[in-house]
RNA sequence: GUGGCUGUAGCUCACCAGGUAGAGCACCGGAUUGUGGCUCCGGAGGUAGUGGGUUCGAGACCCAUCAGCCACCCCA
């Protein structure tokens, strides 16, 4: 047992897992790029106030989950608990929202919560935010883009899209009042948490897991009855576009989401494969936020996906991503090792697509071949005394039955050309 | 913040009515003096999460603490 451990809820991603992470990140960046979205990178630390005002003062995130601290100048700072606030801040600060903008970011987020499956204190999100497009075709594009990503990952058929509209700020305010009034009449039938939320955030009572509370909600007023015409039209058009594109979704009138800044569209992609933490990706519209941060009145819409949860999902589906070298170089002695090192360098220059690992630290041929096998390399490339003397190299296939061959310089280059062509085919 | 379960070798786990630790896999070496994957043989590796208590004696019992897992809350 080592003296130090990673601190609670913050985990190391070890070499065996990083290939899967890289695959996940690569597919994301491919899909995003294919849709014309550009990457943005913002600081991990912002003023506490930025998060408190955008996410909402009475949300759990702000009330109890933020890593907040005074810096040496007594400024009140926080580790970012999500990415939308920072992104909006950056876009406004640099005056980038004069015309429509579509951006994405990826990186660690921090929330002080009790760890459990699919939940850590430091976790990673991929977020997408689009500005200046108020129409529902944007909402549709974002959801189609998600589906593209799920398809490339092979998780399309274990995810469900849940969709709702929570209307404009004003219509929601009316609804909130009506809902609170109704629920106050059934106060005693509500569970303890819901009783508390009646004062702080009544909408959140809608997705309570308590059976008695859900029974009360059965006859509660519905948001649908309070929607303003514009929100209703927006939502209808979105549903139309999704149907047109063959994106299946489940209307979930209880889906409200916990962050204050949403309006109109809200959605979540969920799965039944991950236990309690079912949401893999969530988002919606936030048309008022840019203005709130001092920009012009500009529409906004986006989502964030939890990368740990996607990794877990890929792992439960036995999706693997391996990084195996093409060549593993073994050598018989110091002289041969020196020659081999020069040759490896030359190969990496002339055949940059090939993965070339050189055995270092000496040892018998036997132990070097064991290493070669464990590396997963397709070929062992042998530099022994005989090869050095003849100016040749021996190649032994590690993954197939064939015999090893000894090649001169020209033969080797032909071999490597073919090998590189084949390894690129596999990647395509 | 609340609740339940758990904490013995790198990993998965055993032993134990309380008498000072063992297996499989992984790792290293050998059988094959220039060649891996199978087989056989050998080796290394643990102050039993940590601290305290009960006891002649505790990895086993009790308490505390830390950590992990799962769930609640909430969210990605």
ipTM: 0.89
**DSSP string covering A263-277:** EEEEEEEE-SSSTT-
Question: Which bases of strand B sit closer than 7 A to a protein CB?
Answer: 1-3, 10, 27-30, 32, 34-37, 49-50, 66-76
Tell me what pLDDT residue A133 has: 96
Q: What is the distance in angstroms measured between the alpha-carbon CA of A115 and the sugar C1' of B3?
A: 14
Cα atoms found within 13 Å of the Cα of residue A266, Cβ hemisphere only = 18
pLDDT in tens, A356-391: 999 999 899 999 999 999 999 999 999 999 999 999
> What is the percent of chain A with per-residue pLDDT over 90, rounded to a whole number?
72
CA angle at A146 for the pair A55 and A244, rounded to the nearest 5°: 115
- pLDDT confidence bin for A424, thresholds 50/70/90: confident
Tell me what pLDDT residue A213 has: 86
Phi/psi zone of residue A9: left (φ > 0), alpha (ψ -120 to 50 degrees), beta?
left
In 3-state terms, what secondary structure has residue A248? coil
Task: Report d(CA A331, CA A352) in Å as an integer.
Answer: 22
- Residues 6 or more apart from A397 whose CB is under 8 A from it? A378, A379, A404
Nearest to A238 by CA among A144, A165, A139: A139
Q: Is the per-residue pLDDT at A2 higher than 70?
A: no
Nucleotide nearest to A404 (CA to C1'): B35
Across the range A27-49, mean pLDDT stands at 97
Q: What is the distance in angstroms measured between the alpha-carbon CA of A2 and the sugar C1' of B45?
A: 15
Task: Report d(CA A123, CA A61) in Å as an integer.
Answer: 14
CA-CA distances (angstroms) from residue A71 to A51, A62, A63, A369?
17, 18, 20, 54
Q: What is the distance in angstroms measured between the alpha-carbon CA of A46 and the sugar C1' of B6?
A: 38
Tell me what pLDDT residue A427 has: 62
Q: What is the distance in angstroms measured between the alpha-carbon CA of A230 and the sugar C1' of B64?
A: 60
């Amino acid at each position: 047992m080592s003296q130090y451990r990673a601190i609670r809820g913050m985990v190391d991603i070890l070499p065996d897992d990083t290939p899967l992470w890289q695959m996940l990140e690569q597919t994301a960046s491919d899909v995003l790029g294919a849709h014309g979205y550009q990457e943005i990178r913002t600081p991990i630390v912002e003023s506490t106030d930025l998060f408190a005002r955008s996410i909402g003062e009475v949300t759990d995130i702000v009330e109890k989950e933020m890593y907040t601290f005074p810096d040496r100048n007594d400024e009140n700072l926080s580790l970012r608990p999500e990415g939308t606030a920072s992104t909006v801040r950056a876009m406004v600060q640099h005056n980038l929202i004069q015309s429509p903008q579509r951006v994405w970011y990826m990186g660690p987020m921090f929330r002080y919560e009790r760890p459990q499956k699919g939940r850590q204190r430091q976790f990673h999100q991929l977020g997408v935010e689009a500005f200046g497009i108020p129409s529902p075709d944007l909402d549709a594009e974002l959801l189609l883009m998600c589906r593209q990503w799920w398809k490339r990952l092979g998780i399309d058929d274990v995810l469900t899209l849940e969709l709702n509209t929570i209307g404009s700020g004003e219509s929601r305010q009316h609804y909130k009042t009506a809902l609170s009034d109704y629920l106050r009449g059934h106060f005693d039938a509500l569970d303890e948490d819901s009783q508390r939320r009646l004062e702080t955030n009544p909408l959140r009572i809608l997705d309570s897991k308590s059976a008695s509370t859900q029974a009360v909600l059965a006859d509660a007023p519905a948001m649908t009855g309070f929607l303003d015409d514009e929100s209703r039209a927006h939502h209808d058009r979105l549903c139309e576009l999704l149907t047109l594109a063959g994106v299946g979704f489940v209307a979930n009138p209880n889906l409200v989401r916990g962050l204050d800044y949403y309006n109109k569209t809200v959605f979540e992609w969920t799965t039944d494969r991950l236990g309690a933490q079912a949401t893999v990706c969530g988002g919606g519209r936030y048309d008022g936020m840019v203005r709130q941060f001092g920009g012009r009145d500009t529409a906004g819409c986006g989502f964030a996906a939890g990368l740990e949860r996607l990794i877990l999902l890929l792992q439960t589906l036995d999706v693997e991503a391996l990084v195996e070298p093409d060549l593993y170089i073994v050598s018989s002695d110091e002289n041969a090792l020196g020659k081999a090192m020069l040759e490896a360098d030359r190969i990496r220059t002339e055949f940059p697509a090939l993965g070339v690992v050189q055995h270092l630290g000496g040892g018998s041929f036997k132990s070097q071949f064991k290493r070669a096998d464990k590396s997963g390399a397709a070929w062992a490339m042998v530099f022994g005394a005989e090869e050095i003397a003849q100016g040749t190299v021996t190649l032994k296939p590690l993954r197939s039955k064939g015999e090893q061959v000894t090649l001169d310089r020209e033969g080797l280059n032909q071999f490597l050309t073919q090998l590189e062509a084949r390894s690129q085919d596999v990647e395509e």
